Amino acid sequence: MRVLGVDPGLTRCGFGVVQSGRGREVSPVAVDVVRTPPDLELSRRLLRISDAAEEWLDAHRPDVVAVERVFSQHNVRTAMGTAQAGGVVALAAARRGIPVSFHTPSEVKAAVTGSGTAGKAQVTVMVTRLLGLAVAPTPADAADALALAICHCWRAPMIARMAQAEAAAAEAQRAYRARLALAARTSRSGR
């Protein structure tokens, strides 16, 4: 599976592509950070991020896009910009029929480092080690994008199994209700 990980942001938006192999094997494909100037109008900044996302989607043809979910930030303005940047990337993927999955920062940190409270430095060290990189990706947004892609590679099978289990449970519940309704109708007609 090829995953495009995106660490959304208006000033710096990290893009990283990872290819999964057997088991937990992952290999790097590409990584970069797209920057937009803070003094540029918001719509123009979002357009630049959208254009970059489309270029990455066309160049790397991922099977899925993993975007960091805006969980909480103290600065509402920053949170809004982050969410907007993630939204334009998700839209670009949706236009191509590419599934988009959102992961919280703590899910990503736990997947990559084993701790949901790991710091950025720990994430960068583990991403560098897991991908066998000679040099750590910089800035942190680049490492975070790769971490998102790794996280999705490792969590996707579990997410799929959970979805199958939920669907099976829902079907079993529907069948049970149908049997109850049939039993109730049979019991009423037998009186």
User: Annotated binding site for Mg(2+), which residues?
Assistant: 7, 68, 141
Q: Is 26 exposed, middle or buried (0-12, 13-18, 19+ CB in 10 A)?
A: buried
Long-range own/partner contacts, residues 55-61 (CB < 8 A, 24 or more apart): 56/4, 56/15, 56/17, 56/30, 57/4, 57/92, 57/93, 57/96, 57/98, 59/30, 60/2, 60/4, 60/17, 60/29, 60/30, 61/2
Q: How many angstroms separate the CA atoms of 151 and 66, rounded?
A: 9
| Contact partners, residue 31, CB within 8 Å, separation at least 6 | 14, 15, 16, 17, 137, 142, 145, 146
- Phi, psi (degrees; rounded to nearest 5) at 61: 45, 60
Active site amino acids: 7, 68, 141
DSSP letter (8 states) at residue 139: S
What value does the CA radius of gyration of the chain take, rounded to a whole number of Å?
Answer: 21
Binding-site positions: 7, 68, 141
Place of tokens 């999705």: 152
